[in-house]
Amino acid sequence: MIIVMQQDATKEQIEHIIDRIKDLGYTPHPIYGEKRTVVGAIGDERGKFRLESLASVPGVDAVMPILTPYKLVGTDLKGEHSVITIGEHTVGGDEFMLIAGPCSVESREQIITTAKAVKKAGAQYLRGGAFKPRTSPYAFQGLEEEGLKLLKEASDITGLKIVTEVITPTDVLLVAKYADVLQVGARNMTNFSLLKDLGKITKPVILKRGLSATVQDLLMAAEYIVSEGNEDVILCERGIRTFETATRNTLDLSVVPLIRKRSHLPIIVDPSHATGKRPLVGPMALASIPAGADGLMIEVHPNPEEAFSDGAQSLLPDEFSELVKEMKKYLKLAGKRL
């Protein structure tokens, strides 16, 4: 349920409502808007008639149900878009989040060369998997903690923020020690114990859409993280499985404007995994901007032919740099900046 306070409600009246919500066994989620405060009451729906009686408390304007199952990440409770702060950067507002780097961290030279190149081109974040969720158990699984250390070194040299994947609850604290943003891969979108643990940390999380996940599945996965206390979730569209085999996945760009209506969380696009093909990455990256994306994640490798994973979809540093130049024109039209 949502308790909508009157515009002139006092601080004491708001605090009183928060206490009453707790007394009734619900978790209060106050949202202090510019004009008025609304307080979400999250908990067992069966006792909602008791919350309805709060409508008669001084300072309360209305009590109404939250209609979507994703109560905290939906727009019923919070209408304004969330702006997430990551060091000196933000995502969800005017600043466009540009993440670039190899699929996997392979060596010191590879990651540092790539970091310097993507930084020069204009990216603010370096990506690179140290723990890789591969479809085959025989494929390269990542350098693990050694990879995290190399990412940290690349970050110290370039100032880029680090985005890297965590694949198991056991590694959440280890990855959080090195990463600025933790990534949940498509194959782990429904790993609920991982999502719950990520809800308990204070670092932002990029949540990638599962291979066959609906928009509601994705938003419910985000709800798992936010309901544990971590509100800093960034959604990522990375293509879904369809009957089409000409591309690696099918980029469902329509979810970008759709999710911007249904959720206040930022949404970014990964055109690399969505298409799987280098010539398609640039056009789909650019198309994401007018669609309303808050950022892009793009695979870049200094020598894609020798990449341990995803060479075919990785841009060369020069190609990435050209793409960023092109991107800037679209960002200007969209009222965004790098």
Contact positions toward ligand PEP, by CB under 6 A? 103, 129, 133, 165, 185-187, 208, 238, 270, 273
Would you say 238 or 262 has its CB closer to ligand PEP?
238
- Radius of gyration of the chain from Cα atoms? 21
Measured from the CB atom, is 197 or 237 closer to ligand PEP? 237
Question: What are 293's two structure tokens?
Answer: 């994306």
**CA atoms of 216 and 45, how far apart (whole Å):** 19
Helix (H, G, I), strand (E, B) or coil at 32: strand
Could you tell me the smallest distance in angstroms from the CB atom of residue 165 to ligand PEP? 6
Give the nearest distance from C-beta 151 to ligand PEP in angstroms: 13
When the beta carbons of 189 and 324 are compared against ligand PEP, the nearer one is: 189
State which residue, 3 or 160, has the beta carbon closest to ligand PEP: 160
C-beta closer to ligand PEP: residue 183 or 321: 183
The closest residue (CB) to ligand PEP is 185
Where does residue 46 rank: exposed (0-12), middle (13-18), buried (19+ CB within 10 A)? exposed
Question: Residue 290 and residue 282: Cα distance in Å, rounded?
Answer: 14
State the binding partner of 208 from ligand PEP, Mn ion, none, CB within 5 to 8 A by kind.
ligand PEP
Residue 307 structure tokens: 């990449």
Does residue 103 belong to the site contacting Mn ion (CB under 5 A)? yes
Residue 213 interacting partner from Mn ion, ligand PEP, none (CB closer than 5 to 8 Å by kind)? none
Distance CA 183, CA 165 (A): 4
**Can you tell me the distance from the alpha carbon of 196 to that of 226, in angstroms, rounded to the nearest whole number?**
9
Instruction: Point out which span in 48-56, 69-77, 98-106, 209-217 binds Mn ion (CB under 5 A).
Output: 98-106
Residue 243 has which token pair?
A: 């009957």
Pick the closer one to Mn ion by CB: 14 or 103. 103
**Is 237 an interacting residue with respect to Mn ion (CB under 5 A)?**
no
Per-residue string for binding with Mn ion, 299-318, x by CB under 5 A? -----------x--------
Q: Smallest Cα–Cα separation from 313: which of 217, 239, 212, 234?
A: 239
**241 Cβ neighbours under 8 A, 6+ residues apart:** 211, 212, 249, 250
The site for Mn ion (CB under 5 A) is made up of 103, 310
